[in-house]
Amino acid sequence: MGINWKELANNAKSRSDIYGLMSTVFREEPSGDLIRDMRSPHLSEIFADLGVELGERFYTDLESKVMEELAIEYTRLFIGPGPHISAHESIFSEMDGDMSGLWGVKTVEVKKFIETTGLDYGKDFTGLPDHISVELEFMQKLTEWEADMWHQQYRKRAEYCLTVQGKFLDQHLFCWVDQFCDAVVHQAEIPFYRAMAELTKQYMAFERQSVATDTAA
C-alpha cells in the first residue's frame, strides 16, 4: 500500500497544534484573547467532551476578572515569591550535588539539543532554556517541520524527525512532565491550571504511545 502523505502531514500538524496550545498555557499569564477563545462555544464544547473542567467561573465571570485571577494564580504557582513550582527540567531531575537546580546539567543538555536542530533562543526570551513551555514549543516546531516534510514527500527526513522527537521526549520531556503536572494538579487553587495539567499529562501519555509506534514503524 502506498504512503498516505496527506494523512501523515495532517497528523503531524495536529500534534504541533496541541503542543502549541500547551506551550502557550504554561509560558505566561493567559492573554485576553486566549481566554476569549477558550471560552468560545467551539473550544468549550471540545473541553466538555474531553472532560476538561475549567470551572464554571471561567466561563461566567467577566473576562477581565478571569484574566486577573489567572495571572495571580500563574504567579503563585510558577513564579513566586514563596513556595512555587519551578517549571524547569533541571529542577525535577534527580541528580547529585550541584548538577540539579537552576541552570543544571539538564538545562545545558536541553539547550544543546535544541540548538543542534538549527534553532536558537530568541534574543528577547528572558526565561531559562529548559522551561516546560520551551520544551513544549520545541516539540511544536519539530512536529510542524515533520508535517512539512510529509507534505513535500520527504519520507526519510520526516522519519528522521520522528526519531529526533522520540529522543527528545525520552531524554527530556517524558522524564519530568508527569511529575510537573502532578505538582500543578496538587497545588493549583483554581481549576484552570489543574485541568490544563491533567490534559497535558493525558496528552503526553498519548504521545508516549503514538511516538513509540511511529518511530518503530
Partner 1 sequence: MKKLNRRNFLKLAAGGSSALAAGLGFSQGALAGSIKLQEGGRDFSPTTKKALQAIPTACWQCVTRDAMMGYVEDGRLVKLEGHPDSIRTLGKLCAKGQAGVNHVYFPDRILYPMLRVGKRGEHKWKRVSWDEALDLMASKLKPLLDAGTPELFMYQYGRHKGSQSSIMHDFMDAFGSHTIGTHTSVCEGPKWVGQESLWGGMYDNWDYDHTDFVVNFGSNQFETHTNHIPTSQRLIRAMVDRNVPLYTFDVRLSNTAAKSTEWIPINVGMDGLVMLSMVNVIMNENLFRKDHLKYMRVSPDYHASDDEKIAAIKEHVAKFTPEFAEKESGVPADKIKQIARGYAKAKSACLIGYRGTVMHYHGADQERAAMLLSAITNNLDRKGGRVMGVGAGWKTPHSPKAKIQKGLDIVNGFPGEAAFPTHQVSQQNLPMIKDGQNGRPKVYWSSCNNQAFINGNNKEAEAVLKDESLIPFYVNSNIVYDESSQYADLILPDVTYLERWDTEDMVSPTGIAEFYIRQPLIKPLGESRDQGEIFAGLAKRLGIELAYTTKEEYVRQACEMTPGVREAGGFEYMKKHGVWHDKNAKPNFGFYEAKVDVSGDGVILDEKTGVYWNYKKAGVSEAEARSKGYLGVEGAKDAYVAQNIEGTPRKAYPPNTSFVKSGLLDFYSDNFAAKGFPPFPTYTPIPEHQKMGKDDLHLTTYKVAVHTHSRTAHCKWLSEIKHDNPAWINSKTAADRGIKDGDRIKVASDIGEITTTAHVTEGIIPGIIAISHHFGRQHSGIYGSGKSSPTPGGATADPDAKNMWWDKHGIHPNSIIPNSSDPISGGQRWMDTVVRVAKA
Residues in contact with partner 1 by the rule CB under 8 A: 13-15, 17-24, 27-28, 31, 33-34, 37-38, 42-43, 46-47, 49-53, 114, 117-125, 127, 131, 133-134, 137-138, 141-142, 144-145, 156-157, 160-161, 164, 195, 198-199, 202-203, 205-206
Long-range contacts of 152-160, Cβ-Cβ distance < 8 Å, separation of 24 or more: 153/3, 153/5, 155/3, 158/8, 158/12
Q: Whose Cβ is closer to partner 1: residue 54's or residue 85's?
A: 54
Distance CA 139, CA 29 (A): 21
Q: Whose Cβ is closer to partner 1: residue 61's or residue 144's?
A: 144
Long-range contacts of 204-211, Cβ-Cβ distance < 8 Å, separation of 24 or more: 204/173, 204/174, 204/177, 204/178, 207/15, 207/169, 208/169, 208/174, 211/162, 211/165, 211/166, 211/169
Shortest CB 72 distance to partner 1, Å: 18
Shortest CB 97 distance to partner 1, Å: 24
Cell of 192: 484552570
Shortest CB 65 distance to partner 1, Å: 19
Shortest CB 24 distance to partner 1, Å: 5
Q: Whose Cβ is closer to partner 1: residue 45's or residue 68's?
A: 45
Angle between helix axes 5-27 and 191-216 (nearest 10 degrees) is 150
Q: Whose Cβ is closer to partner 1: residue 57's or residue 167's?
A: 167
Q: Whose Cβ is closer to partner 1: residue 98's or residue 156's?
A: 156
